[in-house]
């Protein structure tokens, strides 16, 4: 006897015939498509949605009791018995042992019963950080194998439970004896009740329900239930469900294709920008082959330069390497170098800023009115702009000029090491949790770990201020002082970083300075960064009797890259002077005196007294 394809009995009882042609909802309206893309949680029915058959009826067939169960199905379809009564009678007839249930699952493993495209869709949803739930009038014992196959935790499964009889003498489970009628999905309105419970537990703004039956449609028709219902007809088409759905599909591929796909644009092409772009290029490449969250190609704006007789953009597009700023590192075949800023961002909805901070304001002015209204941004730039009314962080500058949300990525990020795929990490500071998760998926790799903190100002201030401390560390190295002195300088610097950040931005979290953007970035920069390198060279030149200014040393040592620490020190010192805080931040003040020639490099070892020396204040 062929296997019957039977869904939830209530779906069949309550599915009336249409009296008019169905509406055409096979293509989503704009609002429906927006809800689908914005949904933080997606709930799936199981039988005839996730699976190709009704599991309980298939179990009856497996045990040779299909005809008897079919008789009860017919009675339920005719309205002769209630759902609960039919369910109890069906279990009584099936009456299987745990061993028989195990044999059934082995005979019909989940991989052979999943509907076409559902695994890919669920993977795509999970890759985007969306919560996926299974909500069914079926039984957990039959559903959990599918949940495991799909990577859905058991806690995300709402279903009925079989009651089992236990032998008093052996203590072993013997046979099924009904089901637990306390479960939400064992009664009318169970699915919207389950969704309402999810809303109480989590702050989901939009929840989507996908299913083939009336009980699934019911989930969107009751207050507190789902916000959008997508009917699925890939196994069985029920007219009432098709007519009542916000969107009706016969193939899950339609839903996968409709998920938002992000186009990434990189603004900047220095060493750190190229190392970061390599991370992004890898993830966009993998995404294009699997979940489709990110488009494969990543455009990168390159300030055009001549390298010999060739343009830098041409070299990057041909060799996939920035031979000037990050030589020897393949940044990705899918990176497309572009010399036109506006062309780079055209159509992009994810913008990554990674340019010297002194140029960011002008870049933002050029981009104003030329970026997608729904775009989001992240800044990898370390620095600030000083104004009469106070400092302006780069993320604030982007947010104000472009009217888009801007997160930040800061951390112990020496470009060469990341380019060589050495273990590294970073901190993403965010204001919008979903955007933080998006950027984590965009940047994180097996060798580049990312932590999230809801503290943009703290992460960005840490990444900015550590460059001043790195200058101090370079002075110490140039003076050939030992680890005690360097450790003392770094500790004092971390303390001043934290104190100034919290003083200017009261919302800054103290713990942020113990993340990669804080202490880890400070350590890496004070031992391997360009600011330390140039500051050490400054001391050597000073001691040789032929001092060199920082501009000359920058040109000699950094191959076109910009030295951020000196400019940041001047910017920070102007804030301290305006507010009368110089004495409160003696290390910062002493560093600024040294870089401006008002103090000798040796003053760094006496920074507390040097900071209040009257000869240069």
Active site residues: 466
Q: What is the DSSP string of 436-484?
A: HHHHHHHH-BTTEEEEEES-HHHHHHHHHHHHHHHHHHHHHHHTT--HH
CA gyration radius for the chain? 31
Sign of the torsion angle spanned by Cα atoms 249, 250, 252, 257: negative
Helix (H, G, I), strand (E, B) or coil at 139: strand
Cβ atoms 484, 524 nearer than 8 A: no
How far is it, in rounded angstroms, from Cα 429 to Cα 433? 10
Residues listed for the chain: 617
How far is it, in rounded angstroms, from Cα 5 to Cα 133? 23
Helix (H, G, I), strand (E, B) or coil at 174: strand
Element housing 112 (H / E): none
Strands 335-338 and 384-387: unpaired
- The C-alpha angle 196, 199, 203, rounded to 5 degrees, equals 170
Burial-class residue 1 by CB neighbours within 10 Å (0-12, 13-18, 19+): exposed
How far is it, in rounded angstroms, from Cα 29 to Cα 420? 47
Distance of CA 596 to the CA centre of its chain: 43
Other CB atoms within 10 Å distance of the CB of residue 257:
12
Helix (H, G, I), strand (E, B) or coil at 257: helix
As a whole number of Å, the end-to-end CA separation of the chain is 97
- Residue 132 phi, psi (nearest 5): -120, 130
Cβ atoms 167, 189 nearer than 8 A: no
Cβ atoms 104, 129 nearer than 8 A: no
Spell out the SS3 assignment of 390-425: EEEEHHHHHHHHHCCCEEEEECCCCHHHHHCCCCEE
What percentage of the chain's residues is helix, strand, coil (to nearest 5)? 50, 15, 35
* Best CA proximity match to 265, nearest among 310, 300, 219, 295: 300
Other CB atoms within 10 Å distance of the CB of residue 413:
25
Paired tokens of 499: 């104190």
Helix (H, G, I), strand (E, B) or coil at 301: strand
* Best CA proximity match to 150, nearest among 113, 188, 123, 124: 123
* Best CA proximity match to 135, nearest among 69, 77, 198: 198
How far is it, in rounded angstroms, from Cα 299 to Cα 334? 8
Cβ atoms 164, 173 nearer than 8 A: yes
């Amino acid at each position: 006897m062929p296997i019957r394809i039977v869904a939830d009995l209530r779906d069949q009882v309550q599915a009336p015939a249409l009296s008019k042609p169905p509406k055409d909802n096979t293509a989503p309206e704009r609002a429906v498509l927006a809800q689908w893309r914005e949904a933080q949680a997606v709930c799936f029915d199981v039988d005839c949605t996730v699976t190709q058959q009704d599991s309980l009826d298939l179990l009856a067939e497996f045990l040779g009791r299909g005809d008897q169960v079919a008789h009860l199905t017919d009675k339920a379809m005719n309205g002769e018995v209630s759902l609960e009564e039919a369910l109890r009678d069906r279990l009584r007839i099936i009456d299987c042992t745990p061993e028989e249930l195990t044999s059934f699952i082995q005979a019909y493993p989940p991989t052979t019963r999943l509907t076409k495209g559902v695994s890919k869709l669920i993977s795509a949803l999970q890759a985007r950080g969306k919560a996926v739930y299974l909500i069914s009038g079926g039984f957990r014992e039959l559903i959990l194998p599918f949940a495991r196959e799909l990577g859905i935790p058991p806690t995300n499964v709402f279903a009925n439970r079989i009651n089992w009889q236990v032998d008093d003498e052996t203590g072993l489970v013997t046979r099924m004896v009904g089901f637990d009628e306390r479960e939400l999905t064992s009664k009318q309105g169970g699915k919207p009740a389950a969704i309402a419970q999810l809303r109480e537990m989590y702050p989901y703004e939009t929840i989507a329900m996908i299913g083939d039956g009336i009980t699934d449609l019911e989930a969107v028709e009751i207050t507190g239930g789902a916000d959008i219902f997508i009917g699925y007809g890939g196994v069985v088409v029920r007219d009432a469900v098709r007519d009542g759905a916000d969107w009706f599909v016969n193939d899950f591929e339609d839903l996968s294709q409709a998920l938002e796909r992000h186009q990434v644009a990189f603004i900047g092409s220095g060493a750190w920008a190229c190392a970061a772009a390599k991370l992004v290029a890898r993830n966009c490449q993998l995404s294009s082959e699997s979940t489709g969250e990110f488009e494969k190609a990543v455009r990168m704006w390159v300030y055009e330069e001549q390298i010999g007789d060739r343009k830098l953009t041409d070299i990057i597009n041909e060799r996939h390497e920035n031979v000037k700023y990050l030589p020897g590192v393949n940044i990705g075949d899918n990176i497309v170098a572009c010399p036109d800023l506006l062309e780079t961002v055209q159509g992009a909805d994810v913008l990554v800023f990674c340019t010297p901070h002194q140029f960011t304001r002008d870049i933002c002015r050029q981009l104003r009115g030329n970026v997608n209204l729904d775009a989001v941004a992240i800044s990898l730039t370390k620095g600030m702009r000083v104004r009469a009314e106070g400092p302006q962080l780069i993320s604030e500058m982007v947010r104000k000029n472009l009217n888009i949300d801007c997160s930040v990525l800061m951390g112990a990020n020496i470009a060469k090491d990341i380019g060589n795929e050495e273990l590294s990490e970073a901190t993403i500071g965010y204001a919008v949790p979903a955007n933080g998760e998006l950027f984590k998926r965009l940047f994180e790799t097996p060798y580049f770990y990312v932590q999230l903190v809801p503290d943009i100002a703290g992460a960005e201030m840490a990444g900015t201020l550590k460059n001043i401390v790195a200058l101090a560390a370079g002075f110490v190295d140039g003076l050939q002082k030992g680890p005690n002195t360097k450790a003392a300088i770094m500790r004092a610097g971390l303390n001043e970083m934290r104190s100034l950040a919290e003083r200017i931005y009261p919302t800054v979290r103290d713990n942020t300075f113990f993340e990669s953007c804080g202490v880890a970035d400070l350590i890496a920069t004070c031992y391997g960064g360009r600011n330390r390198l140039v500051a050490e060279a400054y001391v050597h030149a000073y001691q040789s009797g032929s001092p060199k200014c920082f501009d000359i040393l920058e040109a000699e040592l950094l191959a076109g890259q910009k030295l951020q620490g000196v400019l940041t020190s001047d910017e920070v010192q102007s804030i301290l002077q305006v507010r009368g805080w110089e004495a409160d931040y003696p290390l910062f003040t002493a560093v600024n005196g040294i870089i401006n020639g008002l103090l000798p490099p040796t003053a760094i070892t006496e920074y507390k007294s040097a900071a209040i020396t009257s000869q240069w204040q």
